Amino acid sequence: MTNFFIQSYLTYRALFFWLNWPSYIGNVFLVPVLYITMLLLTGRFANSPLDSEFYVLGMAAYSTPFILIWGITQCNYYERVTGTLAHVLGSSGNRWLIFWSKGTMHFPNGLFTVTSSLLFAWAFIGLDFTNLNWVTLVVSVLLFALSCTAFSLCIGIFAIVMRSWLTLSATASGLLILLTGVVIPLEDLPFFLHYVGNVLPLTNGVTAFRAAFDGAGPMSVGDHLIWELGVGISYGVLGYLFFLFVEADARRRGAYDTSIL
């Protein structure tokens, strides 16, 4: 267990290129603030019938997958391009732990960013905390941070295969902003896209998260919370299986050091 944390910590220090003060503060704290402000203003400008709380909470929650996706895919990408992947996979290291260790240290970032977004909304936008059910809030945030970590780890394996992280992160985070109901209510999406939202992380978590601010107890949104957990576990298992497949395939093709896998 200690080794798992040493591994997680060092892989994070070694491969997370945003781990310097300007990038870290920018991406973990400033980007969400900008997004929240931007959407709030757009919503007002467009005379949206939805109240501003809908956007503020949606974007605060969305800051979690944002930092997780961009952070984790870049770590996987750099593992490949620096040539350390061959050494990691040539070791007797446990594959399940290797897979998760890429996300351990990012998970807290997902929690920090949503927390600071909420603080910002409280201090500057007057987000109303009076009806808040704290238990629902904490549980929903933990669950969607978990499912977004698992989702990002899964996307991260594609970053290894495709040797790219910018396009991938942009695509994945774009999909989430469109289809998880953070800015566009799911009912407003055309029929089948509604279903897509349900197999993405965050969709159910954010519903529970919003309900928390209306005072809903965890039991009343239990199905959403369980669904969010299920989505997280599914991406975890899927990503891990995909990782094993990529490893076997790379050994077959001799592709650890070539530009195209």
Partner 1 sequence: MVADSINAVECVNLGRVYSSRSALGRRRDVEALKDLNLEIPKGSVFGLLGPNGAGKTTTVRILSTLLTPTSGRARVLGYDVEAQAKQVRRNTGFILGGERGLYGRITGEQNMHFFAALNHINPRDAKRRTRQLLERVGLAENAGMAVENYSRGMKQRLHIARGLLTDPPVLFMDEPTIGIDPVGAQELRNYVPELASEGKTILLTTHYMAEADMLCDTIAIIDRGELAAVGTPGEIKRRFSRIGIVELTVNRPREELAGEILDLEAVERVESIAEGPFQKLTVSLRFGEDLTDKIVEIVGTDNIESLVSRDPTLEEAYINIIR
Residue with Cβ nearer ligand ATP (49 or 254): 254
- Give, rounded to a whole angstrom, the gap between the first and last alpha carbons of the chain: 32
Site for partner 1 in 12-41 (CB under 8 A): 13-15, 17
Among residues 258, 259, 260, 261, which is the contact residue for ligand ATP, using CB under 6 A? 258
Q: How far apart are CA 41 and CA 34, in angstroms?
A: 11
Residue pair 118/207 in contact by the 8 Å Cβ criterion: no
Distances (CA, A) of 104 to 53, 149, 157, 209: 31, 8, 16, 23
> Which of 2, 254, 259, 260 is in the footprint of ligand ATP by CB under 6 A?
254
Please, what is the minimum distance in Å from the beta carbon of residue 90 to ligand ATP?
15
Q: Which does 94 bind (CB under 5 to 8 A by kind): partner 1, ligand ATP, none?
A: partner 1
Of partner 1, ligand ATP, none, which one sits near residue 82, judging by CB under 5 to 8 A according to partner kind? partner 1
Nearest residue to 195 (alpha-carbon basis) of 211, 209, 181, 212: 181
- Say which residues have a Cβ less than 8 Å from residue 141's Cβ, sequence separation at least 6: 61, 64, 111, 114, 205, 209
Nearest residue (CB) to ligand ATP, 82 versus 167: 82
| Residues binding ligand ATP (CB under 6 A) | 254, 258
Which residues are at the interface with partner 1 (CB under 8 A)? 2-4, 6-7, 10-11, 13-15, 17, 82-84, 86-94, 98, 251-254, 256-258, 260
